[in-house]
Each structure stands twice: as C-alpha cells, then as structure tokens.
Chain A
C-alpha cells in the first residue's frame, strides 16, 4: 500500500482527533462493555422491572444521590459510564431481603449515563440508565 500525501494528511487528522479525546473516556467505554459482559455473561438484557432514580442535573458532581429498585433481584450492578473507573458497585440481596432497593451517592467526572443492571432471581437481566448532567451552571433566572 502506498500512502499518498492526502492520505497522510487525513490519517494525521484522525490521529489528532483521537489524541484530543481523553484517553480515559475511551478506556471507560471499553470497561463498561466488559463489566456488563462480566455481570450478564452476555445474556439478553430487558428493560422492565428496574427503576433508577437520579437527578437530571447534578447539584454537585462530587456527590450525586442515586437509587435503584428492582423487586425480585438477586443483585444490582451500578456503573457510571463516563468515569475513569466506571464500576460503582454491585448490591447483592440475600433470600431474606425484604426489598431489593439500594441508595447511595456517587461521584461523576462529567455529564454521563448512569447504568443499573439487575440480575433477577430467575437468572434474567434488566437494565435502566439515565443521563446525569454535570453543569457549570449559573445563568438561570
């Protein structure tokens, strides 16, 4: 293969735009896919039966309250898709748990999707996600 000058320029442009993207974000995208695959074993993921509650716009990106509720779940995994390390945690519910509900606060590096995936007692999986915006704010009124 012979590189023409135009190809070289185009490649240069592509390299430049790749460099402009934060490497951590690229890495995180991979890590989200890997974490989901590790949790679900690649099974199909439905959407009914799980509720994720998070603010649309974070008041403070350093401590964002979220809640997950998936009646009948054995475990719920929470991911922050845009964080350098997207793994927030996995809540496991024993057979005697009265409800399959958890709330916590997470730190978000910027505007991103928060994802919750529940493993149900029958081995099926359901998923909910919501974009949480982290804004500099200050001009409403």
Chain B
C-alpha cells in the first residue's frame, strides 16, 4: 500500500523515466487544504549526500507574492519543453490539480484569488525552518545558493547587500555563485568576499580580462557521507553586457564551455565522486551545457527563475530548477557509490509561509536587519486596483505602470523598461508601500534617462534584445525578458533572424508607423552606460502613484506576437 508519505515525494533512480503522478497526488492533498509543515517537509532520506538549493531570492527576506509568467516562449530545441510551458499546459504536464496550492505556487491562472487562499510564500525564517529540518535528517547537508541574493529590496540596496550576507551566513550556506552581486561594484564584492562572507564565492567562468586568468575559485570540494563532492560555481555569463561593465572593471565572464569541461575534469582528477554545478547560466544554457560537457551529475540552475516540480534529465545530468524570490527550496538526496551517482531523490519544497513555522532566531535576525528602515518600508504610496506583477516575455503590469509613469512624468513619446525577471507582485485592491515599489526597482543604476532616439535606433534596440531572448542557440541568450515598451506597439515574429523579427512599430498616441529617420523622445531607466543622468526610477514611479492615488493599469495589447 502506498503510504501518505509516498504521495509527497517524487522518487527516482538516476536512470528512471520521470512521470508526474506522484506529484499530482501531492497537489490533490494540498487542494484539500490538509497541508501541514510535515507534509511539505516529508522526505524519505536516501543515499549519502544531501543538497539544498536556493536561488534568485532577490533579497526577499520576508514572505511575498510572486506570480509566475503566462508567456514564456522557448525557441529551437527548447520549443514546448520545460521550463517553456505555462498555465494549464504546465498543470497538465505535472499532474497538478485545478485550484490547488501548487497551481498557485507554480503557475499564473487565478493567481489573485488563489493568493488570498494560500497566502504569501517565502521568507528567510521559513527557509531556515526547512534547512534545519533537512539538517536534522542529514546534518552535513550542503546548502548552495545560486546567486542574485544581494539585490532586489530596499534593505539590500541601503545596506549594500549586508542584510542578505548576514542572513545567508546564519543559514549556514556552504557556497554561492553570482550575478547581480557585481552591481554593488567590484570593491564592495571584494569587501564582502574577503571580510564578511563565511563561505566560498565560486565562479569558474570569471576571469581577469587583462591576463585571461581565473579571478575566483572555480570549485570547492566537500567531503560528505564519506564521498568527495565537487561544487563548481558558474556565474552569469553576460555580466558586462547585460549589466554595467564599468561597475566591475577588469572582469570577463562568458559561458566558457571548454573551461567548464576542464574544471569538471580537474575535479574528477582530484577525487570528486559527484560533480555538482551551481549555475547562474539560465535553464536553456544549462540544458546545452549538460549535453556538451560530460561528467556533471547535477546542475542546480538559476537566473531564469524557473520552478520545476521534477528534475529534467539531459544524458546523465539532472537539471534542477528551484524558482525565485524564496518561493521554493529544492532538496536532493544523492546515492553516491563506487565513484558515481547511482540514484537521485528530489523534492521541490514550496515555502508556504502560513504553513511552515518561522524559525525564531531567523525571525529576530530579519527583524533586526529591517528595523532601521521600518518607517520607509511601511510607508503607503497609493493603491492598486489590479494585480501588479512583472513576469512575462513581453510585458507585466508592474512595467506597464513604470512605463506609464515614465511617459507622463518625463513627458516622453516612448518609454522603455528593461526585461528584468525580478520583482514581487502586489495583489489587487492592496496598498502599494515603498517596500513594494522598491521590490520592483531597487538596484544600483536606477537613473531615469530622457533622450532622443531615431526610429531606426529604436528598431535596432528591440531587435537586439529580441535576439538575446529568441536566438535559437541558447549560448547567445542572456536570459532576461523582452524590453518593455510604453507608448509604442509592435509585432514580433520570434522565429525570424535578428533584424527581421520586429515590424509594424507604431506610435500609439498618433497611430502612425514609426519613421526610421524621425526622432522620438524616449524615457527609460537602468541604462548600462556610465554617467546617465536623471532621477532614480522609484522617484518617478512614486510621483505617478501619488498623483493617481489608486493606479489602474489598462490591459496591454500593443505587442502582437507571432510564434508559428
């Protein structure tokens, strides 16, 4: 007879074919609202090595709302493959019951209603409870952080990431890798790594640009359960392109597939019986890396913010996707014997903050970190009558609001907002606090510029970003979403080559086609160029929200997407 505990765990041998049935039963249980902390944490401890994976928390220390994307298109070999499955297709694929807690956690349909039913997710104190429970089972479990940890909130911005460093030290993290960390500036990263961080900061693909030599430790060997486990760090490959390179001068990144192959071989030669890559490549890049580089047992993926209920197997490599914003923690038990991984047991643990009890020590630490900013965090700027969310390939209501603010407050024809994937949601008919606004905007290059661009340049920009997203070769993808556009509509055929995807660019206020030779006033923010002038974006959006009182974001139908 199948026990209740069996419902809660998708167990598999390394060679097994993955089905969604066990997971489906779990969600039915959750739908019955019989969810308890024991259910969420229940796990048949197996093997001899346990990994705990958190990634892309974006400085969210307290439970939050986060709506997953409705549109997340895959191209090339990723077409129609996880994680490029959303909504009911996603629910069907993984056997998730309608209106269940897992529908709420992992997909977008009925998000606002389900959010009220199942509550906020995440929170460092709930995560601490989960980590401690796992370590009660397996005291030497490795806690690995995939990066994008020190950026994304008011407190992380004000403390230059110190709040997050303190919290991840207290969690007992064993290693991390990086992306937005470097937007604090190289001096601050060096200060943290040298003076504050109590665990290794790994990046096999971070090089000194001048001498082309490794700039950070590529991997760390851990002895766990009587075997040697190598954890290789892989930072975001396109740091100096997607973020301001002047903030970390002298560093070079890149996918560097051949370097990864060398480091895997080096780790194996040094005695590694299991090789784990702690990656900030993005899921599709990791799928290709797993296919091309032999000898990797597990890739803990990050950057693209995907949450998958099951590992995805590429050859012998298990790809794990643990979501973002603290919504999930993955647990992985590995059976490592005779120099290889014989079996993998996995669970994506959803951090339902109303179900998992907070860890009191961590609650106290988080409160202490937030206390100096309490008045700012709780200050009400206005209200929203609709859901504010960020994720989606082409738009989200948060960026629609930001673009509206840029158009009106900066008197522009066209507004551009970068395709960031971080930013918590705000439910309909809720106050917008300063904390909410900063969750969607807090970063170190927030200047809202206002400049003139020709129609031709605007087209070039859209084509460039579209290729970062829809190039069929994942190694040419940077992992963000499409730049959000206000005041202008366009048509995009994602399967065309660069230069031919974007057509029918139209100035919405006149209905006229964009003239390549004509100049338009464009407002935007988060330019990667140095010496950008303008007020921080949060001031622009705050002024707009205050003027409106209650913001109503109209449905955005100005992007026509062709996928066939």
Which positions in A face B, CB cutoff 8 Å? 53, 55-57, 59-60, 65, 103, 111, 131, 133, 135-141
Contact = CB atoms under 8 A, between A and B. Distances in A.
A13 to B, nearest CB: 17
Interface residues of B, number: 40
Contacts of A60: 240, 245
Contacts of A133: 467, 471, 476
Contacts of A57: 238, 241, 254, 476, 478
Contact of B254 (A59, A103, A131): A59
B241 A141 contact: no
A141 to B, nearest CB: 4
Contact of A140 (B209, B245, B478): B478
A111 B420 CA distance: 24
A102 B278 CA distance: 31
Nearest to B418: A139
B419 A136 contact: no
A69 to B, nearest CB: 10
Contacts of A65: 212, 252
Sorted nearest first, the 10 A-B pairs with minimum C-beta distance are A140-B242, A137-B241, A140-B478, A140-B480, A138-B528, A141-B420, A56-B475, A139-B418, A59-B240, A55-B254
Contact of B527 (A56, A103, A138, A140): A138
27 contacts: A53-B258, A56-B255, A56-B473, A57-B254, A57-B476, A57-B478, A59-B245, A103-B212, A133-B467, A135-B241, A137-B242, A137-B464, A137-B468, A137-B478, A138-B241, A138-B242, A138-B527, A138-B528, A138-B529, A139-B419, A139-B465, A139-B480, A140-B468, A140-B479, A140-B480, A141-B243, A141-B419
A49 B4 CA distance: 57
Contacts of A138: 241-242, 418, 526-529
B460 interface: yes
A103 B213 CA distance: 13
A140 B476 contact: no
Contacts of B461: 136
Contacts of A131: 476
B257 to A, nearest CB: 9
A55 B241 CA distance: 12
B33 to A, nearest CB: 36
A140 B238 contact: yes
Interface in B457-485: 460-461, 464-465, 467-468, 471, 473, 475-476, 478-480, 482-483
Contacts of B240: 59-60
Contacts of B389: none
B422 interface: yes
A65 B254 CA distance: 11
A71 to B, nearest CB: 15
Interface string B508-545: 00000000000000000011110000000000000000
Given A57-B254, A131-B476, A133-B471, 18 more contacts: A57-B238, A57-B241, A59-B209, A59-B252, A135-B241, A135-B464, A135-B468, A136-B461, A137-B238, A138-B241, A138-B527, A139-B419, A140-B238, A140-B418, A140-B419, A140-B478, A141-B243, A141-B419
Contact of A141 (B245, B422, B482): B422
A133 B483 CA distance: 19
Q: Which of B419, B464, B473 has the most CB of A within 10 A?
A: B464
Contacts of A136: 460-461, 464
Nearest to B421: A141
B253 interface: yes
Contacts of B253: 59
A13 B122 CA distance: 59
Nearest to A58: B241
Contacts of B482: 139
Contacts of B468: 135, 137, 139-140
A53 B254 CA distance: 12
Contacts of A135: 241, 464, 467-468
Interface in B254-275: 254-255, 258
B182 interface: no
Contacts of A55: 254
B111 interface: no
Contacts of B419: 139-141
Nearest to B253: A59
Interface string B211-243: 010000000000000000000000010101111
A83 to B, nearest CB: 19
B7 interface: no
